[in-house]
Amino acid sequence: MIARFLLQNMDRRGAVFLALVAAIMLLVPLSNLLLPPSSVFHVPTSAMSLWGKYLCFALLAISLDLVWGYCGILSLGHGAFFALGGYAMGMYLMRQIGSRGVYGNPILPDFMVFLNWKELPWYWYGFDSFLFAMLMVLLVPGLLAFVFGWFAFRSRVTGVYLSIITQALTYALLLAFFRNDMGFGGNNGLTDFKDILGFSVQAQTTRAALFAITCLMLMAGFLIARGIVVSKLGKVVIAIRDAESRTRFLGYRVDRFKLFVFTVSACMAGVAGALYVPQVGIINPSEFAPANSIETVIWVAIGGRGTLVGAALGAVVVNYAKTIFTSGFMAPYWLFALGGLFVFVTLFMPKGILGAVQGWSAGRGRRGREPAATAPAAAE
């Protein structure tokens, strides 16, 4: 039943996307591990980790597109769920350091020893277990989204007001995690990771495995999000986006539908954050910065809102551009470039890169495709 749910009405765009990610998942780690560094097809480990980071952002973008593109909930705080997933992973990785820290304390992470703490705070319990930590990666962002959404959606907070309180949410978490006495490493966050499941996080093979797992999770996230949006629930969610009160008069409890997609989306963002942390080697409060969440919205808008694939594409394109522009002589102008890109896309490609590409291919004499965000009707 799950397979049928995930694969129902698979269109060509989705299939191409999955095939592409699957190919990257196999080829990049293999070329990194098997080909000699002198080969032109060799992917250096640093580049692999960099692209692994982009793919984490792609998963985050898909999660945001699910709520914004399809349900019309413009969350300006999705970075919070990403960061919470990241912190859950970071706490596991901290506990794996054991007595190899600078202070050699077998239980307490270095920053707690430094703060003169005598014992582990209760909320760090259990994070030495990988399974528990993975559960928290899903549960903490999911629960926060559920509680937040419960109040917001039941009180019918919508539009710009909702965007503002999501922004406030991530900002509040930013301030909280900055505090040393919160017990999450304050300003410096969590870093100096050593092992993950007994494998060194620095090892080339571990990096390759992390990259492959990121690809796998990106595919899984895409399949889940796609399964949701092409289902009847997806149609309800689009209906809510376009005519919320009409949907209510049809007998749908709008708040529950919103809560469902918002919570699923937050869990997905948490997974993205958890995969991000071991690949970049650090998680700190700056991940909660409101600007990060807003940037995620820009990725989705640039790639093509309400298409899922476009969101992933936008995340990779913008972050690749960011890597290029922030190194070298262009560095001081990155934000201008990003702003310019956003303005350009908004003005000339209102449906994002994907929408524009589809428009061009439809314009070359081929039959017009369905516009974005409309799933083909169930053919059963």
Residue numbers of the site for other proteins (CB under 8 A)?
1, 5, 228, 231-233, 235-236, 238-239, 242-243, 245-254, 256-257, 260, 371, 373-374, 377-378, 380
By CB atoms closer than 10 A (0-12, 13-18, 19+), residue 254 is: buried
Please identify, using beta-carbon distances, which residue of 156 and 194 lies nearer to other proteins.
Answer: 156
CB 297 within 8 A of CB 74: yes
Q: How far is the CB of 245 from other proteins (least distance, A)?
A: 7
Q: How far is the CB of 102 from other proteins (least distance, A)?
A: 49
Please identify, using beta-carbon distances, which residue of 1 and 331 lies nearer to other proteins.
Answer: 1
CA distance 136 to 93: 13
Angle between helices 290-303 and 309-326 (to 10 degrees): 120
CA distance 162 to 152: 7
Q: Which residues of 55-68 are buried (b: 16+ CB within 10 A; e: fewer)?
A: bbbbbbbbbbbbbb
Q: How far is the CB of 227 from other proteins (least distance, A)?
A: 9
Please identify, using beta-carbon distances, which residue of 70 and 288 lies nearer to other proteins.
Answer: 70
Q: How far is the CB of 376 from other proteins (least distance, A)?
A: 9
Q: How far is the CB of 359 from other proteins (least distance, A)?
A: 16
For 25, which DSSP code? H
CA distance 354 to 303: 6
Please identify, using beta-carbon distances, which residue of 42 and 248 lies nearer to other proteins.
Answer: 248
> Which DSSP string corresponds to 337-372?
HHHHHHHHHHHH-TTHHHHHHHHHHHHTTSPPPPPT
Please identify, using beta-carbon distances, which residue of 187 and 370 lies nearer to other proteins.
Answer: 370
Q: Radius of gyration of the chain from Cα atoms? A: 21
Please identify, using beta-carbon distances, which residue of 74 and 240 lies nearer to other proteins.
Answer: 240
Q: How far is the CB of 323 from other proteins (least distance, A)?
A: 35
